[in-house]
Amino acid sequence: MNAMILAAGRGERLRPYTDTCPKPLLEVRGKALIDYHLEALAIAGIGQVVINVSWLGEAIEAAIGDGSRYGLEVIYSREPEALEAAGGIVQALQYLDERFIVVNADIYTDYAFKKLLAVKADAHLVLVENPDFHPQGDFAIKRGCLSNDVEGRLTFAGIAQYHRSFFQGRASGKQPLAPLLRQAADRKQLKGELYAGQWTDIGTLQRWQSV
């Protein structure tokens, strides 16, 4: 099993910092956000990581290189224009294993990715309690199955494990992930878990500065 880090976004709400520094390289507690993920994936036993890049992607590649200093092999999936989450995964499928972990580059968490290695599902999402900035949540969870029920919704943490069949056959190009996940929930094909540890979405200046 390998992993993919979604790192192609522009980071509009973190401007002007992201005008010259890609969001994954913004530092939290003295370390770039993406470094935390690479180190945690290596600790979990993942040997290869795919990173999709677009805005200031050359800066990400220069900072991370071939991944050897993390004990990893890093492959870059380059997007001339950011393809959003699902579009980026579809483009990178040629590099991804039958099962693979996906994590958003712009979150700060101590989640142990090793827990995902034993998961067997078409799609398995990690959820967290709803933060103040997203009180409506995304999915409800009952006995490990996710639904679109409004009551009891939790927030998708931007961490998941997928079987490649979940994305195979989908059209290439820009494509958001949320509609695919909602369709899978309606078909009762979406699994998940609640994580109660450290997690922050570094989506705004206020959130970044509060970590």
Whole-number pLDDT of residue 210 = 81
Whole-number pLDDT of residue 85 = 96
Whole-number pLDDT of residue 65 = 96
Identify residue 101 by its one-letter amino acid code.
I
* Dist. CA 55–CA 7, nearest whole Å: 9
Whole-number pLDDT of residue 211 = 80
- Please, which contacts does 11-17 make with residues 24 or more away whose CB atoms are closer than 8 Å? 11/55, 11/106, 13/203, 13/204, 13/205, 14/202, 14/203, 14/204, 14/205, 14/208, 17/205
Whole-number pLDDT of residue 141 = 95
Q: What is the CATH number of the domain that holds 75?
A: 3.90.550.10
* Dist. CA 138–CA 65, nearest whole Å: 35
3-state SS, residue 124? strand
* Dist. CA 108–CA 157, nearest whole Å: 10
Range list of H helices, 93-194: 178-186
Whole-number pLDDT of residue 164 = 93
Structural tokens at position 52: 């999709």
Residues of the chain with pLDDT under 50: none
Whole-number pLDDT of residue 191 = 96
Q: Which of 70, 76, 68 is nearest to 39 (CA)?
A: 70
Domain count, the chain: 1
Range list of H helices, 82-190: 84-92, 178-186
* Domain enclosing residue 98, as ranges: 2-210
pTM of the model: 0.94
Structural tokens at position 97: 């294993």
Whole-number pLDDT of residue 12 = 82
